[in-house]
Structure 1
Amino acid sequence: MPMLLIKGFYDVKGSQPDGDTVHFTAHDPSEWSLVGGGLGRAVEHSAVGRAKLRLDAIDALETHYGAQRVHQPLQFAHAARDELLSWLGFTDVQRRPDETVTATTPDTVPGFVLTRGTDVHGRCIALAGRGAPPGTSGLEIDVDAAVLRTTVNHHLLTAGLVYPTFYRSLFTSLRAEMATATKEAREAGRGLWPSDVTTTGAKIIGLPSLTDDVVILPKLFRRLVDYLQLGTTSLACFPAFLAGVGDRFSILSTGERCLGLHRVVEATNGQTVRMTHPPEDLLFQDS
């Protein structure tokens, strides 16, 4: 499947990378203009070509969500971030208390991105690779499962450190490979999976439950944070809240098209919430 290849290097000083976002500088800044902005946004980048990547098809636990910078259990949020940077080639990363990177060894590492578009924030949605690229920068190459396996997106799923979160722009063959990697990591008990309660049920008695205790799909976490910040602790009205948010997605196993996560989320006893389908069974509409 064709994706645009851009060659450059990773440089994370002055940024706050997490498990699914990282800064990348294109050797030729003009190549960012070749990225198809399917959501009507060009890639936002500096004059020297530095842009933020949003890693395609994966979602790491949050390290600083929203204006209040709410985080999920940091054991796994930091594990995904640290593995991302280590895999890319950074051997030492120094940070301030607010998680801003102040120095790295080496200063930069070479790599490439494979992309077809941007998100609503102007971030490049990408598969991220390290070292020499598998093609010519500025041109499209065919991306199959073998190429996907050379990216950090696939690596983090294999390590069980991130959740799959699929959108329609992702090719079916690549989605199938990532779903397989997810299932294998879950069955092997790698990374966060032994602690995951997305489908078994998370008991929420307030915001500290989300920040310190339960390990759940980040998209569900974000919706719960937004709901709790309305001032209620009971989850009785959470399904109605989800209906109002109106996430659009399909259930892959049934083909059903849905509007609102309340279609796949159960809330019981005013304190427990669970998803009725695993993350890899959901296909979200790009937004």
Structure 2
Amino acid sequence: MTMLLINGAFQIKGTQPDGDTVRFTPTDPQDWDLVNSRGRAVKHDALGRAALRLDAIDAPETHYGPHRVHQPLQFAHAARDELLGWLGFTDVQQGPDETVTAAVPDTVPGYVLTSGADIHGRCIALAGRGASVGASGVDVDVDVAMLQQTANHHLVTTGLVYPTFYRSLFPSLRTELTTAARQAQTAGLGLWPSDTTTSGAKVTGLSSITDDVVLLPKLFRRLVDYLQLENPSVACFPAYLAGIQDRFTILSTGKRCVGLHNVIEVSNGQTVRMTEPPENLVFDEG
């Protein structure tokens, strides 16, 4: 799979990183123009610093939406801390709003491999640390060995994030991440022993998903948006999902679906479960 390589550095002070989002500044900020030419533009500040959204993974939320709701913080913070530590940051200090107030060192060198930006202007990327695999601003063929050197792969192997695939990711890389995720799940690593995505999460209110149950962040975000409409029960959640119209493919069958209601069951008016594991779904880019 061919992706654009950009060399630079990670910097987290004054930002609110989580397990799949971190700030990156290219050595040459004009390299963002090479990403922009592929479609959506990467939003960045005057110094070139931009938000990365790590490709193919979804970490438990530390602060989602205008009301800044979170998933169980034991797991949300574990994923964030693992990412920052893997990149090379130590002594990270954060305020009550999750903003980093200090870290050692101020920046760490690294690189990204990207195919474009998302609808929010974040660069969708595989993130590597230290010396890069080549010259910045050129396309490189990303194989499994190169994927295994990224934060994305590392976080999957620790069991601290969910695999969440989009169509732009090459099948061989998706297969490797699926294998790594299933190995972590079998080994009982990270969040997997607590995961209720396919077994069923009892949802009696917003606190159920912020404090108690652990489930796929994409499903969590949909539930938050639904519950904040002051819906007293999740019985009508599938109808809500039909209106959102997430588009995806079920890999095992090849079935194309519009709406997560195709893979969601609600029982007893309060238990929500996905009928397919996250790694069996490939979403269309939004």
The alignment's TM-score, normalised by the length of structure 1, stands at: 0.98
- 1:120 and 1:134 mapped to 2: Cα distance? 28
What root-mean-square deviation, in Å, do the aligned CA atoms of Structure 1 and Structure 2 show? 0.8
1:5-60 per-residue CA deviation (whole Å, 9 max, x = no partner) reads 0000000010000000000010100001001565x421111222111100000000
Q: CA 1:127–1:204 in structure 2 vs 1: closer, same or farther (change >3 Å)?
A: same
- 1:214 and 1:101 mapped to 2: Cα distance? 27
Partner of 1:214: 213
- 1:36 and 1:94 mapped to 2: Cα distance? 33
Which sits farther off after the overlay, 197-206 or 42-51? 42-51
1:64-89 per-residue CA deviation (whole Å, 9 max, x = no partner) reads 11111010000000000000000000
- 2:36 and 2:201 mapped to 1: Cα distance? 39
Letter of the 1:269 partner, please give it. N
- 1:195 and 1:67 mapped to 2: Cα distance? 27
The total of aligned residue pairs comes to 286
Partner of 2:35: 35
Query: Which portions of structure 1, spanning 4 or more consecutive aligned residues, are displaced by more than 2 angstroms?
Result: none
- 2:68 and 2:238 mapped to 1: Cα distance? 24
CA contact (8 A) 1:265 1:276 kept: yes
- 1:269 and 1:286 mapped to 2: Cα distance? 33
The alignment's TM-score, normalised by the length of structure 2, stands at: 0.99
Partner of 1:153: 152
Letter of the 1:248 partner, please give it. R
- 1:45 and 1:229 mapped to 2: Cα distance? 31
Match of 1:29, SS state, is: coil
Q: How does 1:185-224 map to 2 (within 5 A)?
A: 185-224=184-223
Q: Is residue 172 from structure 1 mapped to residue 146 from structure 2 by the alignment?
A: no
Partner of 1:21: 21
Partner of 1:102: 101
5+ residue gaps, structure 1, are none
1:159-200 per-residue CA deviation (whole Å, 9 max, x = no partner) reads 000001100011111111111111100001000000000000
Letter of the 1:116 partner, please give it. S
CA contact (8 A) 1:29 1:47 kept: no
- 1:3 and 1:232 mapped to 2: Cα distance? 43
Match of 2:234, SS state, is: coil
Percentage of pairs with the same residue: 71
